[in-house]
Amino acid sequence: MKLHILTIVLDGMPWLPSHLAVFNTLNVDWHWHIVEGVAANTHCTKWCRTLLPRLSVDGTTEFLDDISAHKRVTIYRKEQWDGKIEMVNAPLKVIQEPGLLWEMDADELWTKAQIETGVNLFIANPNRQLAQFKCRYYFGPDIVITSDNTYGNHHDYEWYRLWRWTPGQLFTTHEPPRLPGSTEHKIPIADTEKAGLVFEHYAYATPEAVSFKEYYYGYTNALENWHKLQENKKWPARLGEFIPWIKDEATASRL
């Protein structure tokens, strides 16, 4: 079964090389589709702030240039896309064969065993159309969210990442990602977690990532508050005491 991996990216270092190192070891037929550039604040991300059209400035563009000849890699580029929805649909308009579609953001890391297990779950369950996952959500290099069904792991819409896909299907939204006809017959979180499919999500692991989100999502003083969390000595901690946009009872601990 062909596995198509989809990554949209702007400034995706240092994570991208780790993805390819894992993909190159897979015992499945795979292809990596990487869509680079700025997403305009339109459609399901119209609440985000405007970024000027550009490619990456952190070494991502150069890395993608270096791997562009890889027979299992296709790169799609614009300095500005019509929102993230155009970015995620760009590869789907050119893929010809049915198979599995796995969305992996640049800061989401999976192991070889996890990817192969995910593929095998769909082979063993031919009626399943979608898989939902949990993650270890990082708010620092060694700080992760430990609560369940709170910020970072809401069961009602996070994390849809793997679909059984047929040509012609396109995403209708990106946040959260939705493919028509794929909301039923899913492999639930309980099953994927039991199979060890909990991925590492480095969303706020670095100051560079926090600085970008401070502007793009409009989070006031995000970097300042993030540094306060890094200096905390008492764990577990309620994230909302440090990160003001987190309103629920999410807690985190230092690894």
Measuring CA to CA, which residue among 16, 65, 1, 9 is closest to residue 212?
A: 9
> What's the rounded Cα separation, in Å, for the pair 117 and 14?
25
Whole-number pLDDT of residue 171: 96
| pLDDT reported for residue 221 | 95
For 183, counting Cβ atoms within 10 Å of its Cβ (0-12 exposed, 13-18 middle, 19+ buried), the class is: exposed
Distance CA(119)–CA(39), nearest Å, equals: 29
Running DSSP on this structure, what letter comes out for residue 40?
P
Indicate the pTM of the whole model.
0.96
Closest CA to 35 of 72, 5, 57, 58: 5
Which amino acid type is present at position 77?
A: R
DSSP letter (8 states) at residue 110: -
Taking only the tens place, the pLDDT of each residue in 100-146 is 999 999 999 999 999 999 999 999 999 999 999 999 999 999 999 99
Q: Which pLDDT score is estimated for 87?
A: 97
- Greatest distance between any 2 Cα atoms in the chain: 53
Output the pLDDT for position 142: 97
| 53-74: average pLDDT | 98
pLDDT, tens digit, 9 for 90 and up, residues 190-249: 999 999 999 999 999 999 999 999 999 999 999 999 999 999 999 999 999 999 999 999
pLDDT given for residue 182 in this prediction: 64
Q: Check pLDDT > 70 for residue 183.
A: no
Q: What is the pLDDT of residues 7-43, one digit of tens each?
A: 999 999 999 999 999 999 999 999 999 999 999 988 8
Long-range contacts of 64-68 (CB under 8 A, 24+ apart): 64/16, 64/34, 64/36, 67/20
Give the architecture (CATH level 2) of 3-133+155-201. Alpha-Beta Complex (3.90)
Q: 218: Cβ–Cβ under 8 A, 6 or more apart, which residues?
A: 48, 49
Phi, psi for residue 115 in degrees, rounded to 5: -65, -45
Domain locations in the chain? Answer: 3-133+155-201
pLDDT-derived band at 45 (thresholds 50, 70, 90) equals: confident
